[in-house]
């Protein structure tokens, strides 16, 4: 199963990497999407020239669509005070960004979400929220959301979707991963509720499904709506693959999504499950104030675990979704080679999402289209991770100028 987005019938062969591809109401010029990577380029929550330039480089470099990360739907849902809040004030700046991307022949996607327990409550000056009261990412206790919070946040998602359309985005990606708020509701470890929003998988999925429906209503049918869903939290007792497959089926049956991008890991407890490769503990600790820096030195090897890097590391679990879904599936995770893209499409994935490889070489896709088959030069050192606090860049390649 698994739709290829091309409308090709059985026996038509794998879709080409470089050729028009359908994503809901959109036509993408190829099947490579720049996945969401926090750019660290929105000081005090303002769209900066650096943020626009970041996505101009991706668009100029040949990717069909670039994803802006991360746009919070609620003030307390920002990762910190430098995170963009998708309110009326940010729409003009985002419209400038999408216009620049469109002018270079690419499409633009807005990743929207609520950070939940991952939010820095001290920076936001607002309590972090979670399904059940617990210690949040900033070291403070979170507040367990109540029914009124769920209703308000659902409407915040709806309003954010409408604003994203007004800002010129072609696609909206709903963040259902990494133990942000909606992902934390899916997790049996983080969601200990005994009401209608917790317990069974159907109850734990109720809030995310409600949000997806609201986003579609707010966005309309003229833009694509996708979701980034955790397959595995990478945490004992967390959301796992069988439950994720069941949630994917629910989302497909609801009929509001045009594609599903599959991910894994927990920004709260196990971020390296997403990244794989070297764990930049010393570099990450150096970006933190005391006493967090000291804490990182003491517990860094447990928080930033090391997982060996392998090309396309999420491909094997993602195949489970191809087996049961007709909804197009986007492959993410350690894609650095053109032959990986080609074989993934032949297997049934509709699109391939790339991040670190394009951070190192924004023009990699354009070179591939010209016939160069060299693999990406990303060495998976992950030292780009700590750079999010000063403007995300590849440390090996060096900071890039604006424009």
Tokens describing residue 267: 């920004």
Q: Which residues neighbour 284 within 8 Å (Cβ) at sequence distance 6 or greater?
A: 296, 300, 304, 385, 386
- 381 part of a folded domain: yes
Q: Has residue 13 been placed in a domain?
A: no
* 100 in Cβ contact with 47 (< 8 Å): no
Element holding 2 (H helix, E strand) = none
Is residue 388 very low, low, confident or very high in pLDDT (cuts 50, 70, 90)?
confident
Q: What pLDDT does residue 281 have? A: 79
pLDDT at res. 120: 92
In terms of residue numbers, what domain contains 234?
21-389
Q: How many domains does the chain have?
A: 1
Q: What is the pLDDT of residues 160-185, one digit of tens each?
A: 999 999 999 999 999 999 999 999 99
CA nearest neighbour of 229 among 131, 157, 333: 333
pLDDT in tens, 87-126: 999 999 999 999 999 999 999 999 999 999 999 999 999 9
Residue with the bigger pLDDT between 271 and 66: it is 66
Each residue of 225-241: pLDDT tens digit? 999 999 999 999 999 99
Residue 1, in any domain of the structure: no
Fill in the DSSP letter of residue 109.
Answer: E
Strand partners, 32: 352
Which of the pair, 140 or 108, is modelled with greater confidence?
Answer: 108
Q: Is residue 186 part of a domain?
A: yes
Residue 8 pLDDT exceeds 50: no
- Burial of residue 149 (CB within 10 Å: 0-12, 13-18, 19+) is middle
Picking from 384, 345, 362, the residue whose alpha carbon sits closest to that of residue 63 is 362
Q: What is the CATH number of the domain that holds 31?
A: 3.20.20.70
Distance CA 205, CA 119 (A): 21
Per the prediction, the chain carries an average pLDDT of: 92
pTM score, whole prediction: 0.93
Mean of the pLDDT values across residues 371-388? 87
Residue % of the chain over a pLDDT of 90: 76
pLDDT exceeds 50 at position 10:
no
Query: Can you tell me which residue has the tokens 């929550």?
Result: 45
Report d(CA 222, CA 212) in Å as an integer: 16
pLDDT for 255-300, tens place per residue? Answer: 999 999 999 999 988 988 899 988 877 776 776 665 556 666 666 6
The residues that are catalytic are 180
Q: How far apart are the first and last CA of the chain?
A: 42
pLDDT of residue 112: 98
Does 79 fall in a domain? yes
Could you tell me how many helices (H) and strands (E) the chain has, helices first?
Answer: 15, 13
Predicted confidence band of residue 379 (pLDDT cuts 50, 70, 90):
confident
């Amino acid at each position: 199963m698994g739709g290829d987005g091309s409308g090709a019938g059985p026996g038509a062969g794998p879709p080409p990497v470089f050729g028009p591809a359908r994503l809901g109401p959109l036509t993408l010029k190829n099947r490579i999407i720049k996945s969401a990577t926090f750019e660290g380029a929105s000081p005090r929550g303002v769209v900066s020239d650096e943020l626009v330039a970041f996505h101009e480089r991706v668009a100029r470099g040949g990717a069909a669509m670039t994803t802006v990360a991360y746009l919070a739907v609620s003030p307390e849902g920002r990762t910190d005070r430098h995170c963009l809040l998708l309110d009326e004030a940010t729409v003009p700046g985002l419209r400038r960004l999408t216009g620049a991307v469109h002018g270079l022949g690419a499409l633009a996607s807005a990743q929207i979400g609520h950070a939940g327990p991952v939010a820095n409550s001290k920076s936001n000056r607002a309590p972090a929220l979670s399904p059940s009261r617990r210690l949040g990412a900033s070291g403070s206790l979170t507040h367990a959301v109540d029914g009124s919070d769920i209703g308000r946040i659902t409407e915040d998602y709806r309003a954010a979707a409408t604003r994203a359309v007004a800002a010129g985005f072609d696609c909206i990606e709903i963040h259902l991963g990494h133990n942000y708020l909606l992902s934390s509701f899916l997790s049996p470890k983080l969601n200990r509720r005994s009401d209608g929003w917790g317990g069974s998988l159907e109850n734990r999925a109720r809030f995310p499904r409600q949000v997806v429906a609201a986003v579609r209503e707010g966005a309309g049918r003229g833009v694509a709506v996708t979701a980034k869903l955790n397959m595995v939290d990478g945490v004992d007792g967390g959301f796992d693959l069988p439950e994720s497959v069941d949630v994917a089926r629910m989302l497909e049956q609801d009929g509001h999504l045009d594609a599903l991008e599959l991910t894994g890991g927990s920004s709260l407890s196990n971020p390296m499950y997403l990244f794989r490769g070297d764990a930049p503990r010393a570099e990450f600790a150096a970006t933190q104030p005391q006493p967090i820096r000291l804490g990182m030195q003491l517990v860094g090897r447990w928080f930033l675990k090391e997982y060996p890097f392998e090309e396309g590391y999420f491909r094997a679990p993602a195949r489970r979704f191809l087996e049961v879904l007709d909804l197009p599936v986007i492959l993410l995770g350690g894609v650095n080679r053109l032959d990986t893209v080609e074989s993934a499409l032949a297997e049934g994935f509709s699109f391939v999402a790339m991040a670190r490889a394009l951070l190192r070489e924004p023009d990699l896709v354009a070179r591939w289209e010209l016939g160069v088959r060299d693999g990406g030069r990303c060495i998976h050192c992950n030292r780009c991770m700590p750079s999010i606090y000063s403007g995300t860049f590849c440390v090996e390649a060096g900071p890039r100028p604006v424009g």
